[in-house]
Each structure stands twice: as structure tokens, then as C-alpha cells.
Structure 1
Amino acid sequence: MVKESDAKLFFISEECIHNSITKKKTAIEIKKYKQLLERREQEFKIIVNQGWFKNETKTKIPKNIEWLLSLGAKFALHFASSQFPLLDCITEGEDIIQTLGEKNDQEIARTQLTHMIKKQKNKKLNTVGQTKKFLKKNSDMLILDADKGNVTVAMNKNDYKNKMQQFLNDITTYNILKQDPTSKLQTKNNNLVDKLFKGNVIDSVEKTKLSTFTATAPRIYGLPKIHKQGIPLRPITSCVNAPSQNLCQYMVNILKNLTKDSIYNIKDAISFKEKVNNAYIFDDGKLVSFDVVSLFPSIPVDYALEIIKEKWSQIEKITEMKKSDLHGNTQVPTKRQQIFQT
């Protein structure tokens, strides 16, 4: 008979041995898995440019998924995995192989073609599937474009919502409306377009383009400013399919002629570099840059209209519109932005 105390010691010893073996096996399997990942990354030439992707979450993202996300929102595959043109690739590849004179060269080319198709198919399509599963599993993660630098940013969804809510809580900038004004704004837009048409400012084709009957309210979203401490968001209001989107673009094409020849207007960063490239700064001088907070929403509407009045002699040369068409019944909003709260 075995004593109870000896039996307990035996089972404790066996459990320790079991845990030790399991721990060693787990470590070996993890090492093998990492080695396989490294081999796959080398085989597929998966290289993540750290300047193209920034992970602001606590979740570890696999390297191949980072690689795909770092390609940006404009990157897209030409086909889904089920639509991969395998037969077309083989057929067209065989046509090229047949141009080789030696049979041995043909066989080598076929082998190379097989490996090439397999690598490209697995590299892109398998990674796309893994990325979809990863993002579905981590539903608290958002993939966004950075404000500058063409960088993809992974951000926690709650952090994004909290930062966006800070903008909307600013009562000096945003005003909560009791009902959606989209329908009224659409009617007002169409009345203005009809007035321009009757005044022979626009023709029937332009009237059709500027009129809208399926408008939706503008949508606000934020772009992370990864170049600033704390990763603040830049609020962007998308006016795609907004009531006056087309009419606003029509006015932009007219008014932009006022600034295109201005000595204070810079087309882009390249133009600025060329302008200051040979500039001389004295030893006691400094070159400074000013960043205006909320530049466009901060422009007083009534002041902008006064400038247009002063420059009307230039505008009337490029449009049939009358000054009264622009300034008639103009109401300056008391708030720069408005929110419809359901």
C-alpha cells in the first residue's frame, strides 16, 4: 500500500514533469512557426516600410498583414482569389515558352513560370484573406489614412470616437439642429440653379449638372496627424452628394481665377521650394511658419463676399453671372458648422 502523502508527492512530481515537457514543446513549436514565417517573408519578399505604416493600437499585427495595409487605400487587386486567371497565365506563358529553341530551356522556363504564379497567387491573395479575417476578429481596430505622408494608420476605434466627439462638443463651432435641413437646402440649390438658367447664365446641360434630387447630408471624419504629439485628428467634412456640391464646384471654377496670378499664392510645396531656394536670410533673421487652426471655417463669410464685390470687375470677364445673383438674399450663418441630431 502507498501512503497518501507519497501518492500526493508522486502526482505533484508527475504534474511538474508534464508542465515542463509541455512548456519545452510549446517553445519549440513557436520557434518553428517563427522560422516558417521568416522563410515565407523571404520567399515572398514581404518587406514592410516602417514609414508607410503606423500601429497606434496595443494589438500586434502580423508582418504580412502590415505589408498589405502599408500599400494604402488606393492599392487594389485586379481579381478575387476565386477569379485568379490561372489558365490564362499558363496559356500565355506557354506561348512565350514555345519561342525558346532548346527543349531543356523550355522545361526550365516552365518550372520558373510555375513558381512565379504560385508565389504571386499566395503572396497577395492569401494575405488578403488573412487580413480580412484579422480585421474581422479585431473589430475594435480602424485602418485610416494619415493626414500627411501617404501613411496607413491603425487606431483603436474608441480612441478615434473620443477624439471626434471632442470636435462635435465644441459649441462655438457646431450647432445642433432639431431636424435634417438637407431637403430644404436641396430645394434652395435647385431654385438658384433655375434662376441662373432663366437669366441665361447657364444652358440646359449645365442646369442638369448643377441640379440635385437625391442629395444626402455631408459626413464628417478624421485623419490622424501622426506628425504631431498625441496623434490628434484633422476633421474632414465630405460634401460628396451634398445639396450644393456641384453648384459650389461651379463657383470655385470662377473664383479661383482671382488668386491664380497672385504673388501670395503658392501652388504646392515644390513651388515654394523653388521660390525660397535662393532666398537669403540674415544672421539675426528667422524663417517662420504659421499654422492657422481651422482655416476655412474661420473665414468670415461677409468679409469674403466684400472681397468678391471689390474684385467683381475681374469676375465679370469670365462669367455671365450678375453681381446680384451672388449677393442677393445672402444670409451669413451664425455658426460655422451645423450638426443634425437624430
Structure 2
Amino acid sequence: MEKQKRKFTRLEISQKRYNPQCEVKVIVNLSKLPLDPAAQSILQKGFNYALTPKKIPVEEIISGVESAIGHLPPSAAEIVRQDACRILRMKSKTQKHNTTMAEREALRKLKENESIVILSADKGNATVVLEKEDYDKKMEDLLAEGPYQKIDRHPTARYNGIVKEIIKT
């Protein structure tokens, strides 16, 4: 057993670990809006970056726990309730922000700016900032030129009927 532990430890050290913080996101700014360093920094974190919440939604968590333990025996449900309350008391204190004040301010300004659209590039590891007018025009061009056709009525009812027939057989 000791031999496997040493082997695993050596393997862990020799392999380069994936660290999402080291992954560099490219920002392509195709808008007229100049991006300050704080805006670039927050955009480089990517769309999957989770900001620390201002406050923990205690009521939602409690209602979720209650609905999840409905099928448990009363004694087990009470243990789960106590554990949830203990964890919430420990964690419900104000959380430390995982972004700087400048990044939060830049994010607020980017959200409020209705003249730009921020989206993930189709390919590559990039975030693209576009003028809303340019984005809308590109979408209209894609719909006009693409392999799409306008239909007179919604096809869902027809497909539901086909699926029901298949299920019956």
C-alpha cells in the first residue's frame, strides 16, 4: 500500500495540474467603447466566473432543505435541519469579495451600457465586445441569408401528434 501512495504522489507532482486561473481569456473589443484595465480584468475572468453573492439566500436554502427532507423519517430530517442551520450560521457572515472594487464598478458600468453586447466567441477562448447595432445587423443578415425559412404556423402540435403515435405503437 505504501508503494502505491509514493507512486501516486510522484505522478501527481510530475503532471501539470489544470488551473483555470492560469487560463488567459482574450478580449476582442469591436466597439467604440474603450475598456479600462478593470473592465478587461473582469471580462478575462470569463462567463463562468461566479461572483461572491452580496448575501447568502438563507430563506431559499432553508426551503430547499425542507423540500428535500420531506421523505426522510423525522429523526433523520431533524439531523439534516440541524446540520444545515449550523452550516448557515458559520457561512452566513459577510463573505469576502472575490473581485476588486474597480472590477465590480466596471462590471456595473458594462451591464448598464445598452449600446454594447458582450458575448463569447464561437471558437477560441475569447470574449467579444460589439456595438449592439452591429450585432443586430449581423443577426438579421444571418437570418436573411442562412438556411432558414419562415413558416406559417408553429409545428409543435404536429410533432407532438407524431411522437404520441410512435409511443402508442
**TM-score calculated relative to the size of structure 1:** 0.29
**In 2 relative to 1, CA 125–142 (structure 1 residues): closer, same or farther, beyond 3 Å?**
same
1:149 aligns with 2:124: yes
Deviation sequence 1:264-316 (CA, Å, 0-9, x none): xxxxxxxxxxxxxxxxxxxxxxxxxxxxxxxxxxxxxxxxxxxxxxxxxxxxx
Other structure's SS at 2:162 match: helix
1:71 aligns with 2:40: no
Residue equivalent to 2:77:
none
CA-atom RMSD in angstroms: 3.5
Contact 1:142 1:156 (8 Å CA) reproduced:
yes
Distance in 2 of aligned mates of 1:187 and 1:174: 20
2:30 to 52, 56, 71: 56
Aligned-residue offset at 1:82: 3.5
Residue equivalent to 1:133:
108
Residue equivalent to 2:137:
162
**In 2 relative to 1, CA 193–48 (structure 1 residues): closer, same or farther, beyond 3 Å?**
closer
Identity in percent = 24
Aligned-residue offset at 1:124: 1.4
Aligned-residue offset at 1:126: 3.2
Other structure's SS at 1:142 match: strand
Distance in 2 of aligned mates of 1:161 and 1:130: 27
**In 2 relative to 1, CA 198–137 (structure 1 residues): closer, same or farther, beyond 3 Å?**
closer
Aligned-residue offset at 1:72: 1.7
1:188 aligns with 2:162: no
Amino acid aligned to 1:176: K
Other structure's SS at 1:124 match: coil
Contact 2:27 2:44 (8 Å CA) reproduced:
yes
**In 2 relative to 1, CA 76–131 (structure 1 residues): closer, same or farther, beyond 3 Å?**
same
- Structure 2's unaligned 5+ residue stretches are 1-21, 58-88
Aligned-residue offset at 1:155: 0.9
Residue equivalent to 1:268:
none
Other structure's SS at 1:82 match: coil
1:175 aligns with 2:145: no
Distance in 2 of aligned mates of 1:48 and 1:57: 24
Contact 1:48 1:70 (8 Å CA) reproduced:
no
Amino acid aligned to 1:81: K
Other structure's SS at 2:164 match: helix
Higher relative contact order (CA 8 A, sep 6+): 2
Aligned-residue offset at 1:125: 6.3
Contact 1:56 1:153 (8 Å CA) reproduced:
yes
1:82 aligns with 2:74: no
Distance in 1 of aligned mates of 2:127 and 2:102: 17
- Greater gyration radius: 1
**In 2 relative to 1, CA 48–155 (structure 1 residues): closer, same or farther, beyond 3 Å?**
farther
Other structure's SS at 2:160 match: helix
Deviation sequence 1:106-146 (CA, Å, 0-9, x none): xxxxxxxxxxx99x52x516356313421244211111000
Distance in 2 of aligned mates of 1:60 and 1:48: 23
Amino acid aligned to 2:137: N
Distance in 1 of aligned mates of 2:90 and 2:26: 34
**In 2 relative to 1, CA 147–192 (structure 1 residues): closer, same or farther, beyond 3 Å?**
same
**TM-score calculated relative to the size of structure 2:** 0.55
Other structure's SS at 1:130 match: helix
Distance in 1 of aligned mates of 2:90 and 2:39: 28
User: Following superposition, which runs of at least 4 residues in structure 1 exceed 6 angstroms of deviation?
Assistant: none
Aligned-residue offset at 1:48: 10
